[in-house]
Amino acid sequence: MANLSMLPKRLDAALIFQVVGILTALKLLQIAYRIYLHPLRKIPGPTLAKTSELWRTSRYFAGNWHEDIRQLHRQYGGVVRIAPNEVSVADPDLPNTVYGITQGTGKTKAYNTWQAFGGYRWIIALFPNFSMFPEQDKEVHRALRARVSNIYTIQSFVTMEEKATPVYQDVLRSLDKLAQSGAEIDFAAWANLFTYDIVTCFSIGKDMGYVRAGSDYNGFIESVHLAVYYIANLTNVWGRSNWYQNPIVKYWSRWFGSGKVADATNCLAKLSVVQAIEARKQQGPNPKGKQDMLDALFEMKSITGKPVSPFEILVELGNPLIAGGDTTAVAIAAILGPLMLDRQRYQRLQAEIDSAIKVVRSERGPSELLSFDDVKGLPYLKACITEGMRMHPSITFQLPRKAPKNGIALGGHFIPGGTVISMSTAAQNRLKTIFGEDADEWRPERWLDSDIDTLKRMEKGLSTFGYGTRACLGKNLAILSIYKLISNLVARYELQLTGPRDQPWSSRAMWFTKIEGMMVKFQRRQIEKEC
Ligand code: HEM
């Protein structure tokens, strides 16, 4: 044991002052360098953002990034310095220049926050795993994406659609009850119950009964929200998600708190996903073919050439289960919200869906549920869906890429190689240079009445699902679920917002930008009762 008498009796105050003084001087020098000498010094942006990552991190934690980033671009223009080595860009050419296939830009280390153990190499070396979303090696990513791409096609999801029928039946039963009782619900929260039932159905073959229960009864959805909140907000902090995913925090959370944070670090356990994989392995190949993503994932090959392990399947299932639920729920609320505020457009959509119902009934007889195939070609439905997601895209935190070695010219600025370039879909989707002078207005007709060149520009510029090789892999599942739910709801019910009309709901950015407090009443439509 150390001899305590050997420790200094008192700390030398002068030495402490000297050390603190030197560290402060170095920090001030670094700040001065970042403001006056850094290669990005001429790029406009808030002064604090130029000095430290902490500025952006604090804005992320504050939960208003979707508004902050739009305001920053309004104030400073298309290229804004949001951190010492990062510029946010809102520019119609981004799909070619930064997110394009051939540009040599790639995802940055910031994505490691989504990796086990914050992606630190020495830890990953001990526990190797490949996860598509944060992967920065282009070849590895290409191989990871290629081996599952056949599972994510629209045809593949249409084949699995039947499996989700019980969820839609639960939806109609529970909303009919609400319509009868005249009770109001927080629709955005309800949409979350629906989408989590859908993603569990498509991925592991059974819904979790959230819609039936009318609540997040096992706390899984809350766990995902907590996990995403910490993981995404710690993106640019030294140590990344390890600040939250570590045994001390888990211990503290269980002993001194509700244990919710500890649960969130291991949220998939609440769905018994490991057990589902094990049970399916025991059953062997499904004689009916691939009925859900889990069936299909067993046919996947490991990129190392070894047989695919249950752990790899678990990682792959994390994509729909973590990336699919909230993003799709936010989209559903963002599409229906403005429609509920505009009776004329709501009725126009109803009329379009009613004519589809007539065709369906003449071909198939009375049928409770419209399928994706029944409604996928409806132009006004498509316009309302695209416009809702344009105005309020689900993911609004920055999507960072590393500038190519030789740098890149963007919006009149030269961005040196190695700089982090990022965009927020929240700012990009409101660009007047893409969507016209009324870009801040919700106007579904822009997708129907624009000339061909404008339409092409808007379709190319729309960033809701990201761009290029790293664009959303699950878009087809999201689209199928959204078309089907929106059309069936609008056909069957009059949805009415019951909150104050000037501020009917709020939103909170936590990577995906959650909509909150959208209070809605349901009323069965007469036309449906007659059929
Ligand atoms: C409306 C719903 C959705 C929206 C708006 C959305 C949006 C996005 C965006 C913007 C990206 C690009 C992120 C980046 O560049 O870092 C992305 C990637 C991704 N999304 Fe989605 N997403 C949605 C639903 C889904 C669903 C349902 C799934 C799974 C079934 C999914 C799985 C993924 C995956 C795996 C990636 C990473 C792709 C890669 O790196 O190659 N998403 N999503």
Nearest CA to ligand 1 atom 42: 474
- For tokens 């009762």, what's the residue? 529
CB 203 within 8 A of CB 314: no
Nearest CA to ligand 1 atom 34: 473
Between the CA of 502 and the centroid of ligand 1 the distance, in Å, is 32
Who contacts 410 (Cβ-Cβ below 8 Å, separation ≥6)? 78, 79, 87, 89, 91, 93, 97, 98, 421
- Helix H, strand E, coil C: the string for 402-432 is ECCCCCEEECCEEECCCCEEEECHHHHCCCH
Here the contacts of 62-68 (C-beta below 8 Å, separation 24 or greater) are: 63/508, 63/509, 63/510, 64/508, 64/509, 65/396, 65/397, 65/424, 65/426, 65/509, 65/513, 66/392, 66/396, 66/424, 66/426, 66/507, 66/509, 66/513, 67/426
Strands of the sheet containing 184-186, edge to edge, are 184-186, 519-524, 493-497
ipTM above 0.90, yes or no: yes
Separation CA 299–CA 237 (nearest Å)? 38
Instruction: Give me the tens of pLDDT residue by residue for the chain, a chain 531 residues long.
Output: 445 555 555 668 888 889 999 999 999 999 999 999 999 999 999 999 999 999 999 999 999 999 999 999 999 999 999 999 999 999 999 998 899 866 668 999 999 998 876 667 666 677 666 789 999 989 999 999 999 999 999 999 999 999 999 999 999 999 999 999 999 999 999 999 999 999 999 999 999 999 999 999 999 999 999 999 999 999 999 888 888 888 888 888 888 877 888 888 888 888 889 999 999 999 988 888 889 999 999 989 888 878 888 989 999 999 999 999 999 999 999 999 999 999 999 999 999 999 999 999 988 887 779 999 999 999 999 999 999 999 999 999 999 999 988 899 998 999 999 999 999 999 999 999 999 999 999 999 999 999 999 999 999 999 999 999 999 999 999 999 999 999 999 999 999 999 777 788 999 999 999 999 999 999 998 754 444
Indicate the pairing of strand 493-497 with strand 106-107.
unpaired
Q: Where is 494: in which H helix or E strand?
A: strand 493-497
Q: Is 147 in the pocket of ligand 1 (CB under 6 A)?
A: no
Beta bridge partners of 399: 423
Specify the pTM.
0.94
Separation CA 218–CA 475 (nearest Å)? 27
Q: Is 107 helix (H, G, I), strand (E, B) or coil?
A: strand
Q: Is 315 helix (H, G, I), strand (E, B) or coil?
A: helix
Between the CA of 465 and the centroid of ligand 1 the distance, in Å, is 6
Separation CA 291–CA 472 (nearest Å)? 22
Nearest CA to ligand 1 atom 16: 399
Question: How confident is the model at residue 530, as a pLDDT?
Answer: 44
Which of 454, 393, 401, 403 minimizes the C-alpha distance to 428? 393
Between the CA of 450 and the centroid of ligand 1 the distance, in Å, is 28
Sign of the alpha-carbon dihedral angle for 65, 399, 118, 329 = positive
CB 56 within 8 A of CB 236: yes
Q: Is 390 in the pocket of ligand 1 (CB under 6 A)?
A: no
Nearest CA to ligand 1 atom 17: 472
Could you tell me how far CA 74 lies from the centroid of its own chain? 24
Ligand 1 mutation pick, 113, 327, 402, max ligand atoms within 8 A of CB: 327
What number of other Cβ atoms are within 10 A of residue 368's Cβ? 12
Atom of ligand 1 nearest to the CA of 107: 16
Q: Is 470 in the pocket of ligand 1 (CB under 6 A)?
A: yes
CB 224 within 8 A of CB 266: no
Question: How confident is the model at residue 486, as a pLDDT?
Answer: 98
Question: How confident is the model at residue 100, as a pLDDT?
Answer: 80
Between the CA of 414 and the centroid of ligand 1 the distance, in Å, is 30
Between the CA of 441 and the centroid of ligand 1 the distance, in Å, is 25
Q: Where is 493: in which H helix or E strand?
A: strand 493-497
Q: Nearest 5°: CA angle at 464, between 489 and 504?
A: 50
Question: How confident is the model at residue 165, as a pLDDT?
Answer: 94
Q: 307: which DSSP letter?
A: P
Separation CA 241–CA 511 (nearest Å)? 14
Read off the tokens for 69.
């980033």
Which of 190, 263, 251, 279 minimizes the C-alpha distance to 222? 263
Which of 476, 447, 437, 434 minimizes the C-alpha distance to 387? 447
Q: Is 319 in the pocket of ligand 1 (CB under 6 A)?
A: yes
Q: Is 465 in the pocket of ligand 1 (CB under 6 A)?
A: yes
- Render the burial of 394-412: b for 16+ CB within 10 Å, e for the rest: bbbbbbbbbbbeeebebbe
Nearest CA to ligand 1 atom 28: 474
Between the CA of 40 and the centroid of ligand 1 the distance, in Å, is 30
Q: Is 481 in the pocket of ligand 1 (CB under 6 A)?
A: no
Q: What are phi and psi of 524, to 5 degrees?
A: -70, 140
Separation CA 58–CA 225 (nearest Å)? 18
